[in-house]
Structure formats: C-alpha cells, structure tokens
Amino acid sequence: MDRAQSILRENGLKATKGRLEVLKLFIGAGRPIAQKEIMAMARLKLDRASVYRVLNAFLEAGIIHKAYMDGRHAVFELPDSCGEDHCHPHFSCRGCGATTCLKGMKVYSEGSPGKGFTMERQKVLIEGLCPRCSS
C-alpha cells in the first residue's frame, strides 16, 4: 500500500481513483497548487465539481490546507514546515503572480489579539517582486 493510500485510510476516506490522483499530485508537487492546475496535471479526466469535493474532503480531514488566496482562487498544499498553529509564510510576486513557499522564514508575533480570542492558525503572505521580476 503506497503513501497516498495509507493517508486516505488513516483519515477514513474511501480510496477512490480521483482522490488518489489528487493526493499524489499534492505529494509530487511539493508546492501549493490550485484546482485548475490539478485538472491540468491529472492524467485521468476529473470533473470540476468532483475535484472541489475532493479538496473539501481533504481540507476537512486536515490532509491539506488553504495556503492562501491567489486573487480569486484558493491555493492548497500539504502542511510542510508548518506547526500546529502556524504555517510557513508564502511569497507572492506582484509581477508574474508566482508564489513561493518560504519554509526557511520564521514569524514571531508580539502582543496578544485580546482577551477571549483563541488563535488556531497564523498565515503570513508577503507580497513583492520575485528575483526574476526584481531585475
């Protein structure tokens, strides 16, 4: 039984063709991907609605999380270099739109959100210009 299969098993999700395909794409990609990319990269034809349902199932199980919003669409990834309560930062290029995981950066917060707030996860997005677009 391969890695994708056991992840689904562990999370009580039926190992359907579509789910295996999508999960393998995430494992292979090693970077955040969007629904559109998933459709494009998939070898077997997947229905748009089904891909969204797979993504939502993975989200609910915590297999993936929403890394950030790229304009109007969400981009997902496997948690990697992420703690329980924070994710690694992402860099979004204003020039070409490309996004980079900043797994080497750490983020510290000072002060508290206020009495009564329960913080569950912190997401950091840094905007700017990537090396190609800076020059």
Residues that bind DNA (CB under 7 A): 8, 13-19, 34-36, 45-50, 52-54, 56-57, 72-74
What's the closest the beta carbon of residue 111 comes to DNA, in angstroms? 29
**Amino acid in position 130:** C
Distance CA 7, CA 4 (A): 5
Q: Which is nearer to Zn ion, 12 or 134 (CB)?
A: 134
Q: Which does 1 bind (CB under 5 to 8 A by kind): DNA, a copy of itself, Zn ion, none?
A: none
Sort strands 73-77 and 33-34 into parallel, antiparallel or unpaired. antiparallel
Q: Kindly indicate which of the ranges 5-13, 33-41, 72-80, 114-122 contains the residues binding Mn ion, using the contact rule CB under 5 A.
A: 72-80
Distance CA 7, CA 72 (A): 29
